[in-house]
Every structure is written in structure tokens, then in C-alpha cells.
Chain A
Amino acid sequence: MATTPRRYLRLSRRSIKTRFAYRFLRALKKLNKQKKPNSNRVKQYHRVKLAAYASMASAVGSKRAWSRALLWKIRNRGLTRTLVKKRVDEENPREETGFGCTNELRKLVPGGEVMNFYNLLDETADYIKCLSSQVQVMRNILDLFSS
């Protein structure tokens, strides 16, 4: 299926996939090593999920706003936890300003609340691409492990 004009596109996308896979596997290995014997499953699951998002964001790099936001969020997790609580209180006035689905989209895309609408759409497109490739790679890894 690789026609000649598409080759470069495929190559770049694949390199993001491989970068993500590499980071994610490293993270899994590290998780396995650091695992405490009495840590519960839910914590482990959250760590794995975090690892997936963090490796995706770092595979994309800092050229995208959503990946920057995601990395920043992960690095300052202790800080954001307090801010999240504050944000819940002021959520209602924020809801009323915009119209509904845009606000929801802003919540879904990392860092989307400070973008204007045009950039939000731009970042959403890139985020969707990366998420779908992330899902593919994770599924591949899972197949590999379970087989």
C-alpha cells in the first residue's frame, strides 16, 4: 500500500509509533522493578496509564501544545491535584460562558482551555492521530505479552 508519495508520511508516523513503544516498554519494565509487593492493583493501573500518556507525550515532543501540556501536567502532579480541587468549585461559571461541545472538547484535549478555537481544532486533529496510534501500539504489545 506504500505508494511513493505516501512513504514519507508513513515513515514519520511510524517513527512516532516506535518511539512511543520504546518509551512505554521501558516504563513498564521500570514499573515492574519498582513494584512494591503490597501495592494494590488500582495504583499500579494508574501508573501504567500514566506511563502510556507520558511516553506518548514525550514521543511527540514539545512541538505540540497538547504534549507540552500533558508533560507539564505530569511533572507537576502534586501541584495540579490541589488546583483540580479548586477548579471544581469554579466550574460552573466556566460552563456558562462557552457553548457546550466546545467546552467539552477543551476539557478532553490537554491544555485546550487556553487555546483559541482554531488552535484547538488543530491540536485536536494531532491528538486524535496520536491517540489512535497509541491504542494500536498498546494493543500490539498486549498481544505480544499475552501470547
Chain B
Amino acid sequence: MDPPIINEASFSAANPSSYSLAEIWPFSTAANGGGNGDLGGGGLGLRMSSFTGLLEAAANSVNESTVTEQSGRSGGGGSTAAVRKRDMNSEDDSSKLVSTSDANDLQDGSVAKRQKASESKEENGGSKVEAESSSRTVNKGTEQSSKPEPPKDYIHVRARRGQATDSHSLAERARREKISERMKILQDLVPGCNKVIGKALVLDEIINYIQSLQRQVEFLSMKLEAVNSRMSHPIETFPSKDLAPSAFDATGMIFGAQAPREYAQGAQSEWLHMQVGSSFDRAT
């Protein structure tokens, strides 16, 4: 029976020779299949104990350190933990770890972050520890923590597995989120728009709604013109039935004086309401 969880942690400390890889990984090569269960389980405690020590070393050093995730595997067996170790001769080599997980599905919010540690500047030889474990079924996503010294392209936004993590696509994703949030607000405003699925259809609904509102304004102004021409002084027949008397404040008079005067003096009645957009292009 396999142990359910295998954690993989890789660090590149400044002087990894002080933490000899041989004592971290007491086995150079792990066997495949179910036979390595107790071996991996025994190595786990050792790994964890050396983990904290390495963390301190990594915090001091400027080297990058990466911790990559690993997904849990169930007791089905057949998982492989291959640890290879070679070239332990150089003094200032940094360990490079490549970890891949073959988890087929990621549920329960475990963020899969795969990082390949690039070679640090001072390293020349480089011992390479390659650990890979594959899991058939994921039942426990184990949490991984990433270390404060990232490589250059480290980004703080969470990305799901398979999503691009370069800065352009992250910015694009943030922009899309903002837009979809606005679209949701608009959907709440437009009646009957909540059931519509799809951005183009929602935009169509919005456009139709605005057009209908503008048509209503035209219709109402036509009616009002007919009514208004019949009355001599419409404002005296204006009681405060549905309009609060606070409308007659002085500031309203001041601000209200401007725009109506201008329209009233205009000789052209041909005013195309919504078609002046390109004039703004010119103006700005």
C-alpha cells in the first residue's frame, strides 16, 4: 500500500553542499510500482525535517528556490517517484528540480504551479535532482508554498493549470474580468436580460433597450409638444404632485438656465441626436 501523499520540495540554497543531497535523499533511485511505498514514507519524515533548515538557508541566499507542488495519489499504486542524483562534486552548484505532476484533474482549489528553476548565475556544474511523481487519481491536493525569491517572471496572480502566466495574458484576464462584471451590472439594469446568455446577445438586448427608451423619449416629446402648444403657461399648472418642491431651489435655477436657452435659440431643428460621435474624435 502506498502512502497517500508525496510532497516534493526543491531548494537551491547558496551552498547546497552543506546540505548534502545524499542525506536528504537517501535513496538514489526509487523503484516503480507499489514496492516503494514504505521507502517513500520513510523518506518523507527525513525530508520534512531537513525542510525547515533548508528554508532558512534559502531565505538568506539570493538564489531562487522553488517549491513545486505535488498532488496526492490514492492507494491505487503505480505512482513513480524517481529521484536522480548526479554530479555531486561541485561546491557551489545549485540543485535544480523539475517536477511535473500528471494530475488529470485539479479540483478543490489546489493551484498547480509548475516552475522550472532556471540555472542560477553562479552555478556551473549543477546537481540535478529530478523528482517526478505521477498520480492517477487525485483525491488530496496537497498545498504547496512558493518561496519568496522567485525567478524573474514570477507573478502573483493565481493561474489555473494550463493558463498562461505571462504578463500580457494576465492583464488581459484581469481586463476581461472587469468587463464581465460590468456586463453583469448592465444585465441587471435591462429587464429580461438576465436569461440571455452570451456577450453578443446581451449587447443586442442592451442596444434594443436603449433604442426603445430613446424612441419613447421622442414619442413623449411629440405628445408634449402637442400639449404644450395648447397651453399658455404650462409651468403654472405644474403642481407638486409627484415632484418634490425641493426642485425649486436656487441652484437648480442657476444650472437649469444654460442648456435650455441654447437649444431654444437654435434655428436648426435638424439635430441628429446620436450621430455626432466623430466630432468628438476631432475635438480630442
Interface size class of B (residues with CB under 8 A): 35 or more
Whole-angstrom distance between the Cβ of B199 and the nearest chain A Cβ: 9
Judged by a CB distance under 8 angstroms, whether B145 is at the interface is: no
Complex formed: what's the CA distance from A90 to B209 in Å?
27
Nearest chain B residue, comparing its CB with the CB of A32: B228
Q: Which of B220, B227, B237, B262 meets A74, CB within 8 Å?
A: B262
Residues from chain B with a CB closer than 8 A to the CB of A79 are 279
Number of interface residues of A (CB under 8 A): 90
Complex formed: what's the CA distance from A35 to B277 in Å?
30
A15-51 at interface with B (beta carbon < 8 Å)? 15, 17-19, 21-23, 25-32, 34-35, 41-51
- A28/B256 in contact, CB under 8 A: no
Whole-angstrom distance between the Cβ of A130 and the nearest chain B Cβ: 10
Q: Which of B105-113, B122-130, B267-275 contacts A (4 or more CB under 8 A)?
A: B267-275
- A55/B260 in contact, CB under 8 A: yes
Interface string of A98-109 (1 = CB under 8 A from B): 000110111111
Q: Which of A18, A80, A146 meets B227, CB within 8 Å?
A: A146
Judged by a CB distance under 8 angstroms, whether A13 is at the interface is: no
User: Chain A interface mostly helix, strand, loop or mixed?
Assistant: helix
- A101/B203 in contact, CB under 8 A: yes
Residues from chain A with a CB closer than 8 A to the CB of B185 are 121, 125
Whole-angstrom distance between the Cβ of B129 and the nearest chain A Cβ: 46
Complex formed: what's the CA distance from A121 to B213 in Å?
17
- B186/A125 in contact, CB under 8 A: yes
Q: Which of B223, B224, B283 meets A28, CB within 8 Å?
A: B224
- B207/A45 in contact, CB under 8 A: no
Residues from chain B with a CB closer than 8 A to the CB of A83 are 276, 278-279, 282
Beyond A69-B280, A84-B279, A109-B210, whether A32 also contacts B220 by CB under 8 A is: no
Complex formed: what's the CA distance from A55 to B260 in Å?
7
Whole-angstrom distance between the Cβ of A26 and the nearest chain B Cβ: 6
Residues from chain B with a CB closer than 8 A to the CB of A2 are none
Interface string of B199-223 (1 = CB under 8 A from A): 0100110110111011011101111
List the 4 shortest-distance A-B pairs measured between CB atoms, nearest first. Answer: A113-B277, A27-B260, A43-B269, A121-B182
